[in-house]
Structure 1
Amino acid sequence: MDITPTLIAYLHLCHRKIWLHAKHLRMESSSDLVAEGRLIGEITYPQRAGKWQEIDLGIGKIDFFDAKTNTVHEVKKSNKKEQSHIAQVKYYLYLLEKIGVENPRAVIEYPKLRIVENVEWDSETDSIEVEQWLSTATNILQGTCPPKMSKSKCKKCSYFDFCWSGEED
C-alpha cells in the first residue's frame, strides 16, 4: 500500500484516523471543516493558480509549487500550527528529493493566524525521520483498527461521528 502525504499527516494526529482513511473509510467529503479548508486555500491566494503549478506525485498532489525556487507552498486553515502539517510537508520534500528535485524547500501558510512558517529540510536527518514515519504507518496499516483517542481530542475530526456515535457524553 502506498503511504500518501495525507496518511503521514494523519499518523501525527490519530492512529485510528490513518487506519480508517487507508481502508477507504473516508469522511472528509462530508466534513464542513475540510470544505472550509479548501475554500480558504482557493480564496486567500487566487493568483497562485496562474503563477505556480500543481505537481502530481502519484501518491499525492502539491497544490502550489514554485519551480524557480523548488518551494512547496502549503495553505492550512487551522488556527494553530501542528506537527502533522510539518510532517506532511516534509514528506512532500522527501518525495521531491527522491525524483531528483535539488534543495527542495517548503512554507506553510496559515491565513487565519497571518503566519508563514518555513519548514527546514536536512536531507540526511529528515530523510531518516520520514522513513521512520513510513515504517510506523506501514505497521499501523497492517494491524487491526487502533482504539479511539480521548473524546476531547476528537471534537473537530471529520471521523468524530463515525467513532463516537452512540456514545454518552
Structure 2
Amino acid sequence: MTKIYDRIDLQALRMNGVKVNYLYVCERKLWLFDRGIQMEKNHEKVLLGKLLSEYAYPEKTRREILIDELIKIDLMDSEEIREIKYSNRLANANRIQVLYYLYYLKLLGVQRKGVINYPKMRRKEEVSLTPEAEEEVQEALKKVEEVLSSRKPPVAVKKSYCSKCAYYEFCFG
C-alpha cells in the first residue's frame, strides 16, 4: 500500500511546523503567513514565547535544531524532541506541530518521542506518532496544500482567541 507521504513533496510545499500549526489555529492566518504577510515579528505574545523558549531548560544544549532548512525543533536529544510553548490554549495546534516533526523525522529514518513543554504552567504533554497520528498528519498536509493553493485567503472567522492574535487588526480592524 502506498502511503500518502510517497505522494507529498514536503520540500515543494515548503512545509514547516508553523504552517501545520496554523492550519489548526486559523486557515486564514496560514494563507497570509504563506504569502509573506507575517504580523508576528513584533507581537507581544510571540516575543514572550521566543524569550521563554530561549531561557527555559538552560541545561539543554541542542536548541533550535534546523533540519533541511525547513523545520526548526526547539530542543532535541537522542531520545526526544521538545517544543516549548507559552500556553496550552492552542494545545491541538501544538500537538499537530510536534506530530509533524516526528513524522518528518521518521521519513528521514529518525525515531524520537515528542514532548510539548509549557514551562509557565509547569506542565508537559507527551506526543507519540501512532499510526492514527500519522494519518492525521497526512490529512493535515493535504489540507494545508488545499488552503495554500487557493487564490484568495479564507474568509476571516472570529474565534475566541482572535483578539490576542497578531493578525487581529488585519482581519477585523
Tell me the TM-score normalised to structure 2 length.
Answer: 0.86
Cα root mean square deviation, aligned: 1.5
Q: How far off its partner does 1:116 sit? A: 1.1
Aligned-residue sequence identity (percent) comes to 35
- After TM superposition, which residue ranges in structure 1, 4 or more long, deviate above 3 angstroms? none
Gaps of 5+ in 2: 1-12
Q: How far off its partner does 1:47 sit? A: 2.1
Partner of residue 149, structure 2: 142
Partner of residue 123, structure 2: 115
Aligned length: 159
Tell me the TM-score normalised to structure 1 length.
Answer: 0.88
Q: How far does the alpha carbon of each residue in 1:20-46 deviate from its partner, in whole angstroms, 9 at most, with x for none?
A: 000110011121110000111122222
Matches within 5 A, 1:13-162: 13-48=25-60, 50=61, 52-58=62-68, 59-67=70-78, 69=79, 71-78=80-87, 80=89, 82-102=91-111, 104-122=112-130, 124-143=131-150, 144-150=152-158, 152-162=160-170
Native 8 Å contact 1:79 1:112 kept in 2: no
Partner of residue 22, structure 2: 10
Q: Distance in 1 between matches of 2:16 and 2:110?
A: 19
Native 8 Å contact 1:94 1:130 kept in 2: yes
The aligned amino acid for 1:11 is: L
Q: Distance in 1 between matches of 2:48 and 2:161?
A: 20
Q: Distance in 2 between matches of 1:6 and 1:81?
A: 13
